[in-house]
Amino acid sequence: MLDSRRKAYLEAMGVDLYVRRDSVAAPAAPEAAGITPAAPLAVPLADGGEVGLHWEPLRSTVSACTRCELHRSRTQTVFGVGDRRASWMFIGEAPGAEEDRQGEPFVGRAGQLLTSMLKALGFRREDVYIANILKCRPPGNRDPKPEEVAECRGYLERQIELVGPRIIVAVGRIAAQNLLATDTPLARLRGRVHALGARGWPLIVTYHPAYLLRSPGEKRKAWADLLFARQAFARLEQGEQVVQ
């Protein structure tokens, strides 16, 4: 049932209320891709084994991180937010100015649109888990450098393992291409369920809200992506094989 607030969120997404189900792109063949291995965030055990860091040690490791140059210019690290057992995980690019100030992902203008997108899907921010590829703001909001992504990768991998999401949404080109280790344009990554990493986390790709703010005409496509993700999620919950 569409209440008035949900209608407002849908309108913020540029969505007509009669969006047809069949306007959602059909899933194409899933593509296996992977996060390339990074140093695991693990604590060595006396018997030679190791155990991955849990939430609080992971968070404090991130907040003290000096693995790349970005630590010099950050106000603070931006770890992640939301339900640590969420079924849905949203992964963006990197903190912007407002996120650097507040220490929380997606709280600036683009973040407000992401929040509307979530609400249009029926979620509150606290129902999902939100994180970024990078935990520190690149100066002037430039694109992340490959070495920065590489140094930060283990943190995100561990967050994904700890959350154990049923589905991941890569928000924007930078997140999608880095997660899937590809330079395929975002438009060609949409509308299919990718398998992320060795565990094959189901992952779908959509536009970044900052891009949608610049190109509001694309909001309909982003909405179609979210409906596609919801459909994929429902099929996964039924035990269907939507990812390979």
Contacts of 117 (CB under 8 A, 6+ apart): 9, 13, 209, 222, 223, 226
Q: Are strands 194-196 and 32-33 parallel, antiparallel or unpaired?
A: parallel
Asked if 105 touches ligand URA (CB under 6 A), the answer is yes
Asked if 95 touches ligand URA (CB under 6 A), the answer is yes
Query: Residues in contact with ligand URA, total (CB under 6 A)?
Result: 13
Query: Which residue(s) pair with 100 in the sheet?
Result: none
Question: What's the token pair of residue 133?
Answer: 């590829």
Closest approach of Cβ 238 to ligand URA, in Å? 31
Closest approach of Cβ 198 to ligand URA, in Å? 25
Contacts of 59 (CB under 8 A, 6+ apart): 79
Residue closest to 154 by CA, chosen among 7, 53, 9: 53
By CB under 6 A, the residues from 154 to 173 that bind ligand URA are 172
Asked if 92 touches ligand URA (CB under 6 A), the answer is yes
* Greatest pairwise CA separation for the chain in angstroms: 61
Closest approach of Cβ 207 to ligand URA, in Å? 11
The CB-nearest residue to ligand URA is: 92
Asked if 229 touches ligand URA (CB under 6 A), the answer is no
Answer for which of 111, 165, 191, 202 binds ligand URA (CB under 6 A) is 111
- Count CB neighbours of 101 within 10 A: 15
Of the two residues 128 and 243, which places its CB atom closer to ligand URA in the complex? Answer: 128
Report in angstroms the alpha-carbon separations of 95 from 13, 62, 149, 171, 218.
22, 14, 13, 13, 23
Residues 142 and 233: their CA atoms lie apart, in Å, by 33
Closest approach of Cβ 233 to ligand URA, in Å? 22
Asked if 96 touches ligand URA (CB under 6 A), the answer is yes
Asked if 99 touches ligand URA (CB under 6 A), the answer is yes
Closest approach of Cβ 197 to ligand URA, in Å? 20
Residues that bind ligand URA (CB under 6 A): 92-96, 99, 105-106, 108, 110-111, 132, 172
